[in-house]
Amino acid sequence: MRDRRGSGAGRDEELDREIAFHIDELTRANVARGMTPEEARRQAQLEFGGREQVKQEMREVHTSQAMESARFNLRAALRFLRRSPSFSAAVILILAIGIGADSAVFSAMDAVVLQPLDYPHANRLVALYQHDSKHQNGNTFVAPVRLEDWNHLNSTFTAISGYYTDDMSETSGSLPERVKLALVAPRFLQVLEVAPMLGRDFTAREEHFGGPEAVLISYAFWQSHFHGDPDAIGQKLHVGSFSFSIVGVMPESFAFPDRDVELWTPSPPDAPYAQDRNETWFQAIGRMKPGITIRQAQTDLALVQQGLGRQFPDPDADLTVNSEPLKETVIGGIQGSLWMLYGSVTLLLLIACSNIAALLLARTADREHEISIRFSLGASRRAIVIQLLSEVLALTLAGSLLGLGIAAAAAHEFHLLAKTLPRAQEISLNWRIVAYSLACAVATALACGLIPALRGTRRPLAHSLAQTNRTQASARSRLQWFLVGVQVMLAVTLLTGAGLLLRSLQNLDRVSPGFDASHVLTFQITGSWAETSDMAALQRRIDTTLDALRAIPGVEHAATATFLPGVPAKYQVQFSVDGEQDPNRKILADLRVVSQGYFQTMQIPMLTGRTCRAGSPTSDMVVNRSFAALYFGDSPEVGHVLTQITNTPNPVEGRVVGVAGNDREEGMNTLPVPTIYLCLSAGGPFSYYLVRTHGAPLTMADAIRRRIHQLEPNRSVYGISTLQEHLSDASFNGRLRTILLSLFAVSAVVLACLGLYGTLSYLGRMRQREVGVRLALGALRGQILRGFLLQGIRVACVGCVAGLLLSLFTDQLLKGMLYGVSTVDPSTYLGVLGLILLVAAASSVLPAWRAARTEPTQVLRQE
Amino acid sequence: MPPTDKTDLLQGTLDMLILKVVSMGPVHGYAISLRIRQISREVLHVQQGSLYPALHRLEKRGWLTAEWGESENGRQAKFYRLSAKGRRQLTAEEASWNRLSEAVALILQTAEQQA
């Protein structure tokens, strides 16, 4: 048997053979009847008739009907677009905005949330944390020895590794530049399954203490320092006081733990200084074996840690293991915001759809005659529906292409907007986005085209060429009103969400932080964790630097702090007061390490006692008002001794010397929490410097850099920025989502108004005759006007109420993004109601007025 | 030798006749035209120009299946065979044809009697 569904040529040959057989048989029969072979064949061919014609007919049986009708429908669709250019342009524009915005937000969603991280089998990568269950100790970093134990004893990971970062100064330029270095535990690249682009990974010898000092450099560092010269491999790199051999160059796309890291070097776990189980060094990462779930991995590690707890009761018995997909760690809490925005922009597209559906409904009504004729010419309903749908598809495809064009053109601005998103550099316009927007086009074509197409063709054949049927018209306008109601409802939902976000922004702007962020310059100076082995020296270094800063003309105050005030960074610690530990009451407080001058620099008022003093003993502490009120009760504040409850070797202990005013150090949207300030210049090697200046803070930047360079030529100043900029960066994502949601909401309201306007105008046209008759019978124009106006407002009201009810549910999604306003804020809801009714009335007035202006004589003459 | 007194077939009737002939066993196009002529005692001559497109149409609708095989005299020919779907279709068409012809016969008789 041959392939009957073969290619056209194969089929043709088959047809030929079938026909040839028939003719041969006829010839044979003729010969049997006594004809000469030539005569027999001639007669046979004659009897068979036009051979080519028969073949053509047989071919037509097989040519795909789908192809034929697709071509026909396409032609009809293009004709339709050309015939009504302004209508087409309006629809395409609405869709371009809807689909373009949706695709743009989807591209961010896709890159940040949906796509796996850019490592092989990235879904097997997890971040691992140790958690001190007994002590309120936020530290989740893992000691090198424990990391090695986890790696040896588990059965669910192919490898576990870890890293931390340090700063170094690179001194080849006129002023030292900071270089960020990642110190990595063994197996780092093995866990990530990334190989150097050039050169090799670390050898086992290099990962051991006393082995050769090796370094991997980033692609950017390779370009800037070696101009991409492959001979960089093997060269010595002098950074700070270190000298490394370059063993490899990482690929350009490699940016782990972040894009700033330029060098990677091993941190040997067998170093003598790394043997303390109380150390907290590494952010641990692991690669699970194939087929292992994160739950299994966590259970496995929990067992491992239990074993370690028996072996090393102090401190391992108190530790538990937590894990989460590495992706969660990388993208942080941005998921909620992105989903919210994606939901809103999709809602907007839905509004655009119902808007266009209403437009099409009116349009199909205008084309009733054309459809009737097609019916009477024998077209099936299916064929007509498909034709109507392909017209809409042509519109939505054009819309989505234009939308993609807009999205591509706006890609640069979008990247700027999204710059604070994690993985922002991975957001791009790729084939997935193109496919998505094409899918959008098909979905919207069905969503806005199906109802009008089915409606427009739902008619018994008997009606064929009959005149417009009034009951049908009113049924259609009911559907149109329904669509308008839906638009209003969805617009209201977006509007309440935007309203709530706007109100919380407003509240935040009104909040007084309790400190003065203006005229404060912030920066950091390179340091290294190695300095923490001699805390006294570190403190001396920072004190000297602070003194030098204070001496610069134009500087009023200078101080250091472990965290920037107003930028969220929680470090919660458990304390006992005066050595007493109430088992029923935990004393929890944020611990902030600040230097002398902090309260003056930040202009935080002192309520009682004194502030941190120069050369004061390292055990001075200042608490804020809410700490004093919560934990000291009525007893005098000054003089209490606070001791950190912890299992680390050097618990923080100090005597309260003063009480400061409450301020929002945890961020503008967080009420002041009980806080303990430890008076210490050096909380760590990377403290933030805060400098209060006379003039504009940034004008001091250069003077400060030069002064620090004089003082310590091997250190560099980095991250120079004003405190206000840090604060606005910290609230940027909140602002961004508010701005975007407001934009979507405004577009939604505009679309809903257009829908209302369009529907009322259409209705006015439809009812022209009725209005004319009523006017002729003595109705007042005012009554007519009121009638139309009320109809529009009534629908808007119903949609509005439905929308507010819907908001009660959808606004729950905003929980956690709001400040000082509840998810069911009555004044926001009332405001939305008022606004919607106002714009609904405004967009109804013109069509209502036009309808009421109908000239009775003119209408009656037309009939 | 074109037929002189050919009787036109009603539309759709040809399909039924083909299905009927094929229902008697696998058969090629030439044999079908021959058999329709023989069985109808030379009354019905099927034009090849109608027969082959009809065969292919029926095949496409799934009422017939086709397979290349060897003819009586050892040549390759395309043999048609009735599918289960085609058998149901044939039954339905026969029933409707019988109803129609009875009705027509009834009208002719009654009209004769009244005349």
Determine contact, residues A521/A697, Cβ cutoff 8 Å: yes
B6 located within any domain: no
Q: How many residues does chain A have?
A: 863
Nearest CA of chain B to the CA of A109: how many Å?
47
3-class SS letters over A744-780: HHHHHHHHHHHHHHHHHHHHHHHCHHHHHHHHHCCCC
Does B14 contact chain A (CB < 8 Å)?
no
Does A47 contact chain B (CB < 8 Å)?
yes
B48 located within any domain: yes
pLDDT exceeds cutoff 70 at A460: no
Q: Over range A222-226, report the average pLDDT.
A: 89
Q: What pLDDT is recorded for position A463?
A: 47
Higher pLDDT, A459 or A223: A223
Determine contact, residues A563/A593, Cβ cutoff 8 Å: no
**Model pTM greater than 0.95?**
no
Higher pLDDT, A60 or A680: A680
Higher pLDDT, A455 or A339: A339
d(CA A306, CA A304): 5
A300 and A405 co-located in one domain: no
Residue A475: pLDDT band with limits 50, 70, 90: low
Does B45 contact chain A (CB < 8 Å)?
no
Q: What pLDDT is recorded for position A165?
A: 83
DSSP 8-state secondary structure symbol assigned to residue A197 = S
A447 and A535 co-located in one domain: no
pLDDT, tens digit (0-9, with 9 covering 90-100), for A782-828: 888 888 888 888 989 999 999 999 988 888 888 777 877 888 888 88
d(CA A349, CA A543): 59
Q: What pLDDT is recorded for position B114?
A: 67
Q: Over range A661-668, report the average pLDDT.
A: 82
A804 and A655 co-located in one domain: no
* Buried/exposed code over A638-649 (b: 16+ C-beta within 10 A; e: otherwise): bebebbbbbebe
A108 and A94 co-located in one domain: yes
Least confident of A8-17, A320-329, A437-446: A8-17
Cβ-defined contact of B29 to A28 (cutoff 8 Å): no
Q: Over range A472-493, report the average pLDDT.
A: 81
Of the candidates B81, B18, B79, the residue with the CA atom closest to the CA atom of residue B51: B18
d(CA A87, CA A73): 19
Chain A positions touching B52 (Cβ under 8 A) are: 18-19, 22, 54, 57-58
Q: What is the CATH number of the domain that holds B72?
A: 1.10.10.10
pLDDT, tens digit (0-9, with 9 covering 90-100), for A311-367: 988 788 888 898 989 988 888 777 888 888 888 888 888 888 888 888 888 777 777
A648 and A555 co-located in one domain: yes
A410 and A533 co-located in one domain: no
> In 3-state terms, what secondary structure has residue A170?
strand
Q: What pLDDT is recorded for position A465?
A: 44
Of the candidates A208, A279, A221, A283, the residue with the CA atom closest to the CA atom of residue A252: A221
d(CA A753, CA A748): 9
Determine contact, residues A699/A159, Cβ cutoff 8 Å: no
Residue A630: pLDDT band with limits 50, 70, 90: confident
Which distant-in-sequence residues (6+ apart) come within 8 Å of A259 by Cβ?
A: A425
Cβ-defined contact of A62 to B49 (cutoff 8 Å): no
Cβ-defined contact of B1 to A54 (cutoff 8 Å): no
pLDDT exceeds cutoff 50 at B7: no
A326 located within any domain: no
Residue A631: pLDDT band with limits 50, 70, 90: confident
Chain B positions touching A62 (Cβ under 8 A) are: 56, 60
B21 located within any domain: yes
A727 located within any domain: no
Q: What pLDDT is recorded for position A200?
A: 92
- Which range, A300-314, A352-366, A749-763, B40-54, has the best average confidence (pLDDT)? A300-314
Q: What pLDDT is recorded for position A240?
A: 67
Across the interface, which of B52, B73, B75 has its CB nearest the CB of A58? B52
B77 located within any domain: yes
Q: Which of B56, B72, B75 to mutate to test the interface with A (most CBs of A within 10 A)?
A: B56
Q: What pLDDT is recorded for position A633?
A: 78
A647 and A662 co-located in one domain: yes
Domain around B17? 13-114
User: Of the candidates A685, A715, A745, which is a domain's last residue?
Assistant: A715
DSSP 8-state secondary structure symbol assigned to residue A580 = B
pLDDT exceeds cutoff 90 at A216: yes
CB pairs under 8 A between A and B: 58
pLDDT, tens digit (0-9, with 9 covering 90-100), for A148-202: 999 999 999 999 999 988 877 776 666 677 788 899 999 999 999 999 999 999 9
A428 and A491 co-located in one domain: no
User: Of the candidates A283, A317, A351, which is a domain's last residue?
Assistant: A317
DSSP 8-state secondary structure symbol assigned to residue A533 = G
**Structural domains counted in chain A:** 5
Q: Over range A33-44, report the average pLDDT.
A: 87
Q: What pLDDT is recorded for position A862?
A: 63
**Structural domains counted in chain B:** 1
Determine contact, residues A374/A120, Cβ cutoff 8 Å: no
Q: Over range A607-624, report the average pLDDT.
A: 80
Nearest CA of chain B to the CA of A38: how many Å?
15
Across the interface, which of A17, A21, A60 has its CB nearest the CB of B30? A21
A551 and A653 co-located in one domain: yes
3-class SS letters over chain B: CCCCCCCCCCCCHHHHHHHHHHHCCCEEHHHHHHHHHHHCCCCCCCCHHHHHHHHHHHHHHCCEEEEEEECCCCCEEEEEEECHHHHHHHHHHHHHHHHHHHHHHHHHHHHHHHC
Q: What pLDDT is recorded for position A461?
A: 41
A680 located within any domain: yes
pLDDT exceeds cutoff 90 at A116: no
Q: Over range A49-66, report the average pLDDT.
A: 72
A243 located within any domain: yes
Q: Which of A2, A21, A64 to mutate to test the interface with B (most CBs of B within 10 A)?
A: A21
Least confident of A68-72, A364-368, A426-430: A68-72
How far is C-alpha A838 from the geometric centre of its chain's CA atoms?
A: 34
Q: Predicted ipTM?
A: 0.84
Q: What pLDDT is recorded for position A4?
A: 42
A269 and A358 co-located in one domain: no
Q: Over range A537-564, report the average pLDDT.
A: 90
A313 and A195 co-located in one domain: yes
Q: Which of A22, A33, A45 to mutate to test the interface with B (most CBs of B within 10 A)?
A: A22
A850 and A761 co-located in one domain: yes
pLDDT exceeds cutoff 70 at A300: yes
Domain around A32? 8-63
Which residue bears the tokens 């009927």?
A: B20
Across the interface, which of B33, B56, B75 has its CB nearest the CB of A21? B75
Does A548 contact chain B (CB < 8 Å)?
no
Does A57 contact chain B (CB < 8 Å)?
yes
Percent of chain A with pLDDT over 70: 91
Determine contact, residues A29/A17, Cβ cutoff 8 Å: no
The one-letter amino acid code at B23 reads S
d(CA A141, CA A533): 18
Cβ-defined contact of A21 to B48 (cutoff 8 Å): no
Q: What pLDDT is recorded for position A466?
A: 46
